[in-house]
Structure 1
Amino acid sequence: MSGQRLKDAALPLFAEQGYEGTALSEIAKAVGIKTPSIYAHFASKEALFLEIYRDVMRHELLMLQEVVQEKHATMEAELRAFFYKVTDFGVNSQVKRFFQRAIFFPPQSLAKQMREEMMTYEAMTSKSIGEILGKKLGSAQKEKWVFLFYCLLDGLSLEHEIYSQEDFAKRRDAAWESLAALL
């Protein structure tokens, strides 16, 4: 039994049921161990959840760094690739759902710590966007564009849960067109 196997089993449970709705006994059952055996790998349910949260943030940052490192014909093409990558909620859907739930509904006992870590993640993401935008926009325009980017990202993350794939795709395309018009 490894800590990674426990995290792999816990992530979809936390993604679907939330922190409060997931019992350690469910995670133990999913990997075929008794609940107390989890404590050989994680000090608490909070520690397990927080480690998964950090893994997911690292995964998301690596994914975005890949987009930035790719060759794009134009700044707009690079921003478009970035936008569509972060709003592709169908890829790694359990990871995305976990991340959404953790951001919007963090466990009360971890909320402050997770919010601080999220601000670090957002600052790193904003820096990547800013570097791309720096090629064309001034600092005031750049900041407004990044704010709008996050508003659209947050809205689309919720719309993905509400609308059909077809309707979501139309909304995402409209969001990008509106954002691109500001470049």
Structure 2
Amino acid sequence: MARPVKTEHGKGNVEWTKQQLINAAAEQFSKLGFQGASLSKIREKVGVKNSTIVYHFKSKEGLYLAVTEHLEKSFAKMINDLVEQHADEPAIERFYQFCYTLQQWGSNQQYFTSIAIQEMMNRELHSANSMFYQNFGRRLNQTIEFIKGHDGAETWTKVNWKIFIVNVFLSILIGQAVSVAIPIALQIDEPTYKQQHINEVFRSQLLALVKDKHTAEQYLELKLS
């Protein structure tokens, strides 16, 4: 049997194969957890031999670490892009951009964000060698500094920022994680649910954080109408 032709982008390319294995593994880990995920099903989905996962990742744990590393890099890029594009915006606008950018990221990275939520809520999935918590914590601190900004003292009330940002983060991503089940239960379509959910998260969290409620209400009316 002839070997597949290696192309720059596509089947046969080493990096392409690794990324496809990471994507397939993310789906398995997010649905079944670390223990329940099947290496044979992962390789079957990508269409590679038994030895390919061992060659690239050494073990199931190595593959899981590669998945969490992909998650960390993706989240880091999202935060870095957010800071680069919106650092000079007014404080409330920065918070708005964070909430809606996080929702979009969570929607695009649904398998990976499911793993992030499981990592935080179920220590069973956590690998002893994973840097997930430390790296993710650094990104959350970066997010806090972005939202607070230099004008934060004029805009925001005194809060425990670390607890606040984790609450916002989980509110948004858990809303993404249940974006199929909840619309069925409420008998509304999924896009409507997602839009209403993020609007209400932003509205409630902003009003809990901002000093000038009147200005916030005016902003909300303009932005969410």
Range of TM-score over shorter length: 0.7 to 0.9
Post-superposition shift, 1:144?
1.8
CA–CA distance in structure 1, aligned partners of residues 19 and 197 of structure 2:
36
Aligned to 1:26: 41
Cα gap change, 1:46 to 1:87, in 2 (>3 Å): same
Letter of the structure 2 residue corresponding to residue 45 of structure 1: K
Aligned to 1:68: 83
RMSD: 2.7
TM-score after normalising by structure 2: 0.67
CA–CA distance in structure 2, aligned partners of residues 19 and 58 of structure 1:
20
Instruction: Check whether the contact 2:68–2:132 (CA below 8 A) recurs between aligned residues.
Output: no
Instruction: Check whether the contact 1:28–1:35 (CA below 8 A) recurs between aligned residues.
Output: yes
Letter of the structure 2 residue corresponding to residue 25 of structure 1: S
1:148 partnered with 2:174: no
* Gaps in structure 1 of 5+ consecutive residues: none
Highest RCO, 1 vs 2 (Cα 8 Å, sep ≥ 6): 1
1:101 partnered with 2:118: yes
Aligned to 2:69: 54
TM-score after normalising by structure 1: 0.80
Instruction: Check whether the contact 1:12–1:98 (CA below 8 A) recurs between aligned residues.
Output: no
Post-superposition shift, 1:147?
1.9
Q: Report the identity percentage.
A: 18
Letter of the structure 2 residue corresponding to residue 174 of structure 1: E
Instruction: Check whether the contact 1:87–1:157 (CA below 8 A) recurs between aligned residues.
Output: yes
Count of residues in Structure 1 that have an aligned counterpart in Structure 2: 180
Cα gap change, 1:134 to 1:78, in 2 (>3 Å): closer
Larger Rg computed on CA atoms: 2
CA–CA distance in structure 1, aligned partners of residues 107 and 162 of structure 2:
23
